[in-house]
A and B are shown apart, each in its own frame.
Chain A
Amino acid sequence: MKISEQEVENIAHLARLKMDDEQRQALCGQLSDILGYMDKLAHVDVNGVAPASGAAFMHNVLREDVPQTSPGPRVTLANAPEKDQDYYLVPRVVK
Chain B
Amino acid sequence: MDLHTLSLARAARMLDEKKISSTELTRAYLDRIKTHDSTLNSFITADADAALAQAAAADDQIASNNHTPFTGIPMALKDLLCTQGMRTTCGSKILDNFVPRYDATVVEKLRQSHGVIIGKTNMDEFAMGSSTENSAYFPTRNPWHVDYVPGGSSGGSAAAVAAQFCSAALGSDTGGSIRQPASHCGVVGLKPTYGRVSRYGLVSYASSLDQIGPITRTVEDAALMMNLIAGHDPKDSTSAPEPVPDFTSGLTAFDKNGLKGMTVGIPKEYLDMPGIDPDVRAVFDNVRTLMESLGATIQSVSLPHTDYVVAAYYIIAPCEASSNLARFDGVKYGFRARDTADLLDMYKQTKSTGFGPEVQRRIIIGTYALSAGYYDAYYGKASQVRALIMADFAKAFETCDILLSPVAPTPAFRIKEKIDDPLTMYLTDIFTLSANMAAVPGISVPAGFSAAGLPIGIQMMAGRFDELSLIRAGYGVEKSMNLEPRFPDIPDM
Enumerate chain A interface residues (CB-CB to B < 8 A).
Answer: 3, 7-8, 11-12, 14-19, 27, 30-31, 33-35, 37-38, 40-42, 44, 46, 49-61, 71, 75-76, 78-82, 88, 90-93
Contacts and interface: CB of A to CB of B under 8 A. Distances in A.
A55 B439 contact: yes
B388 A46 contact: yes
Given A11-B371, A46-B381, A16 B423 contact: no
Given A41-B385, A46-B385, A81-B335, A61 B236 contact: yes
Given A17-B348, A35-B368, 14 more contacts: A16-B347, A17-B351, A38-B382, A44-B384, A49-B387, A51-B386, A56-B195, A61-B234, A76-B101, A79-B98, A80-B332, A81-B336, A90-B331, A93-B343
A3 B344 CA distance: 25
B387 A50 contact: yes
A68 to B, nearest CB: 15
Interface in B434-475: 438-439, 464
B241 interface: yes
Given A44-B381, A49-B384, A80-B332, A17 B363 contact: yes
A74 B404 CA distance: 52
26 contacts: A16-B344, A16-B348, A17-B348, A17-B352, A18-B348, A34-B365, A34-B422, A37-B311, A38-B382, A40-B308, A41-B311, A49-B388, A50-B387, A51-B386, A52-B384, A54-B207, A54-B209, A57-B195, A57-B237, A57-B238, A71-B101, A75-B101, A78-B101, A81-B330, A81-B335, A91-B343
A34 B381 CA distance: 16
B147 interface: no
The A interface, classified by DSSP as helix, strand, loop or mixed, is: loop
Contacts of A30: 361, 422-423
A80 B336 CA distance: 9
A71 B346 CA distance: 28
Contacts of B98: 79
A38 B348 contact: no
Interface residues of B, number: 74
Interface in B181-235: 194-195, 207-209, 234-235
A40 to B, nearest CB: 5
Interface in B356-389: 360-361, 363-365, 367-368, 371, 377-378, 380-388
A52 B208 CA distance: 10
A59 B194 CA distance: 15
Nearest to B386: A52
A88 B363 contact: no
A86 B172 CA distance: 35
Contacts of B378: 38, 41
B334 A81 contact: yes
Contact of B99 (A46, A58, A61, A79): A79
A80 B331 CA distance: 7
Contact of A18 (B236, B239, B352): B352
A17 B439 CA distance: 32
Interface string B327-349: 00111111110001111111111
Contact of A55 (B330, B383, B426, B464): B464
Contacts of A41: 308, 311-312, 315, 378, 381-382, 385
B237 A59 contact: yes
A53 B361 CA distance: 22
A83 to B, nearest CB: 10
Interface in B295-326: 305, 307-308, 310-312, 314-315, 322, 326
B42 to A, nearest CB: 26
A88 B334 CA distance: 13
A70 to B, nearest CB: 13
A46 B305 CA distance: 11
B387 A51 contact: yes
A56 B208 contact: yes
B240 interface: yes
B390 interface: yes
A16 B100 CA distance: 25
